[in-house]
Amino acid sequence: MPSGGWDDDLYRGEVGAEAETGFGRYIPHILLSAILIFFILFVSWAYVAGLDEVTRGEAKIIPSS
């Protein structure tokens, strides 16, 4: 093992084998795609949906002292 570093072959054999070769390597892509699709759908819905009521009012700031 090199001094001061990880032995990549041992680490990859124990932990990273599934993440590099199997379904695990696609999870970040699927998650990022799902988040992106959610935001696109949300913005599309917000653009199309109408507001029921818009309320405006006048206000006056009253200092506390």
Over residues 2-50, the pLDDT tens digits come to: 555 656 555 555 555 555 567 777 889 999 999 999 999 999 999 999 8
The three-state secondary structure class of 60 is: coil
Q: What is the pLDDT of residue 42?
A: 97
All structural domains of the chain with their residue ranges: 5-55
Q: What is the pLDDT of residue 8?
A: 59
Instruction: Please indicate whether residue 19 or residue 52 has the higher confidence score (pLDDT).
Output: 52
Q: How far apart are CA 15 and CA 21, in angstroms?
A: 12
- Residue 34 is predicted with a pLDDT of 98
- pLDDT interval class at 52 (50, 70, 90): confident
